[in-house]
Amino acid sequence: MFSKVLIANRGEIALRVLRACKELGIQTVAVHSTADANAMHVRLADESVCIGPPASRDSYLNIHQIVAACEITGAEAVHPGYGFLSENAKFAEILEAHDIVFIGPTSDHIKIMGDKITAKSTAEELGIPVVPGSAGEVKTEADAKKIANDIGYPVIIKATAGGGGRGMKVANDDSELSIALSTARTEAGAAFGNEAVYIEKYLAKPRHIEIQVLGDGKGGAIHLGERDCSLQRRHQKVWEEANSPALNVEQRMKIGETCAEAMRKLNYRGAGTIEFLYENGEFYFIEMNTRLQVEHPITEAITGIDLVNEQIRIASGAPISVKQEDISFTGHAIECRINAEDSKTFVPSPGTITHYHPPGGLGVRVDSGVYQGYKIPPYYDSLIGKLIVHGRTRNECMMRLRRAIDEFVVDGVNTTIPLFSKLLENQDIVNGDYDIHWLEKFLAKDE
Ligand code: ADP
């Protein structure tokens, strides 16, 4: 096992990783920008290194400063958290070249899954179900029409270099296709500097369901069930559940085993998430995230497995601590993302937290780096905490979530807490009856 790990991140996830390290008896090194000198992860770490000014590109994305921080402190491994450098293949390579362990997959696997077309063709080769569509880039309008007619309308045109849900256009028939094709190309060129696009069948009312996997990098892999992250605003997840209200045990085990088997074939190392759109009983691969996800705690709640602990153990060469047959999915968990944003306009609300009282009690977990008097800096994303609630049934979980949301006090800045109070009163939410467009429609009505 490592004796010292550097955490190349900030906020709640830096604290989350720090906690796992402490429980493994590992010394921790925090890195921080000048704006985060008073952050909780810095206060709680054994050592800390300031790596630059507030802007992320000069600090949390500054590979040279982070490698230097490892060398100064003697850290043997780096946990990248999520976001920032967590899916940067070059970062993983540079660490390897310096004999520092990257707590994550190999740089080759990061690269494969970082390119949308390679990721999709790799998934297909590994036996993962994908959305029907073109095999790679579509170059001419004639080709596009042929593919669209083969798979059937509606279709969606997507940028191969896409990200964040940008550069996508839907076409319902041949006449809409040529316009959709040219606008998607122009937008892709402007947004990503690459006009290449591909075509997929458009799914009208899918859910977003993702499978958590763990691989040992030696041909062993398991799955830890699914998370339903259909409630999204602008492709950002807002509320996540495990298990999905839409799946039964057979469906869960079938798609889970398909993903675990794919990871065995790939020799995948570490934690990963395979994301699907799910419609009419079928799964369609959209992407794989080769890192820890924001919403990992709901999987921890229903399985009792510490995913960060597993990531660190695997990176140190140890086997995964559990076998597939030992994993059971107990009860139901929901995560609400608490952002420092206006709950109606979603305008960010940095500033000082004047009062802070997180909820507690059985089945309630709050992962957050904030405290009373903490000043939320304006330079980073607006996630200030995650409320994760676990109950024996979905109903118990919802009742517990209502009372936890009622208890939660964050004064001095606007937060998204009031949005969750409203969602918890909604009958569709109570029934678990929603797709990926549900939240946007609800918010439009609420204006
Ligand atoms: P990005 O990398 O830009 O986030 P994704 O391929 O992950 O792109 O897709 C982002 C979102 O776009 C999905 O979560 C879904 O809402 C929508 N989407 C993507 N592909 C399809 C499709 N074939 N049918 C319907 N919606 C889609």
Assess whether pLDDT exceeds 80 at residue 282. yes
The mean-pLDDT minimum among 183-197, 330-344, 399-413 falls in 183-197
- Identity of the amino acid at 412: G
How far, in Å, is the centroid of ligand 1 from the Cα of 235?
Answer: 8
Residue 258 has what pLDDT? Answer: 98
Residue 191 has what pLDDT? Answer: 87
Cβ atoms of residues 428 and 438 within 8 Å: yes
How far, in Å, is the centroid of ligand 1 from the Cα of 91?
Answer: 27
User: What's the predicted TM-score (pTM) here?
Assistant: 0.96
Residue 447 has what pLDDT? Answer: 66
Average pLDDT over residues 19-36: 98
Among 151, 235, 435, say which to mutate for ligand 1: greatest number of ligand atoms within 8 Å of CB: 235
Residue 161 has what pLDDT? Answer: 83
Average pLDDT over residues 355-365: 98
Among 277, 280, 441, say which to mutate for ligand 1: greatest number of ligand atoms within 8 Å of CB: 277
Write down the CATH number for the domain with range 4-103: 3.40.50.20
Beta bridge partners of 270: 215
Average pLDDT, the chain: 96
Active site residue 365: no
- With cut-offs at 50, 70 and 90, classify the pLDDT of residue 362: very high
Edge-to-edge, what's the strand order for the sheet holding 155-159?
168-171, 155-159, 197-201
Among 157, 168, 169, 209, say which to mutate for ligand 1: greatest number of ligand atoms within 8 Å of CB: 168
Q: Any idea where the domains of the chain sit in the sequence?
A: 4-103, 132-201, 207-445
Which residue puts its alpha carbon closest to atom 23 of ligand 1? 202
Instruction: Please state, in angstroms and rounded to a whole number, the distance separating the CA atoms of residues 180 and 171.
Output: 6
Assess whether pLDDT exceeds 90 at residue 56. yes
Assess whether pLDDT exceeds 80 at residue 25. yes
pLDDT in tens, 223-245: 999 999 999 999 899 999 999 99
Assess whether pLDDT exceeds 80 at residue 428. yes
Q: How many residues does the chain have?
A: 447
How far, in Å, is the centroid of ligand 1 from the Cα of 82?
Answer: 20
Assess whether pLDDT exceeds 90 at residue 54. yes
- Identity of the amino acid at 169: K
Please tell me which residue in 264, 291, 394, 400 is annotated as part of the active site. 291
Q: Which residue has the higher pLDDT, 268 or 135?
A: 268
Residue 166 has what pLDDT? Answer: 76
Q: Which fold has domain 207-445?
A: D-amino Acid Aminotransferase; Chain A, domain 1 (3.30.470)
pLDDT in tens, 61-96: 999 999 999 999 999 999 999 999 999 999 999 999
Instruction: Please state, in angstroms and rounded to a whole number, the distance separating the CA atoms of residues 135 and 418.
Output: 45
Residue 217 has what pLDDT? Answer: 97
Please identify, by atom number, the ligand 1 atom nearest to the C-alpha of residue 287: 7
Instruction: Please state, in angstroms and rounded to a whole number, the distance separating the CA atoms of residues 19 and 44.
Output: 9
Beta bridge partners of 358: none
The mean-pLDDT minimum among 166-170, 337-341, 345-349 falls in 166-170
How far, in Å, is the centroid of ligand 1 from the Cα of 165?
Answer: 6
How far, in Å, is the centroid of ligand 1 from the Cα of 174?
Answer: 21
Residue 446 has what pLDDT? Answer: 76
Please identify, by atom number, the ligand 1 atom nearest to the C-alpha of residue 133: 23
Average pLDDT over residues 265-286: 97
Which residue puts its alpha carbon closest to atom 11 of ligand 1? 165
How far, in Å, is the centroid of ligand 1 from the Cα of 234?
Answer: 11
Question: What proportion of the chain, given as a percentage, has pLDDT over 90?
Answer: 94
Contacts of 273 (CB under 8 A, 6+ apart): 210, 211, 212, 213, 288, 289, 293
What top-level class would CATH report for the domain 132-201? Answer: alpha beta
Provide residues with CB under 6 Å of ligand 1. Answer: 131, 156, 162-165, 168, 200-203, 208, 235, 277, 286-287, 436
Residue 167 has what pLDDT? Answer: 74
The mean-pLDDT minimum among 134-148, 291-305, 310-324 falls in 134-148
Residue 216 has what pLDDT? Answer: 98
Instruction: Please state, in angstroms and rounded to a whole number, the distance separating the CA atoms of residues 372 and 384.
Output: 12
Beta bridge partners of 388: 335, 365
Which residue puts its alpha carbon closest to atom 12 of ligand 1? 165
Average pLDDT over residues 386-411: 98
Residue 41 has what pLDDT? Answer: 97
Instruction: Please state, in angstroms and rounded to a whole number, the distance separating the CA atoms of residues 118 and 222.
Output: 23
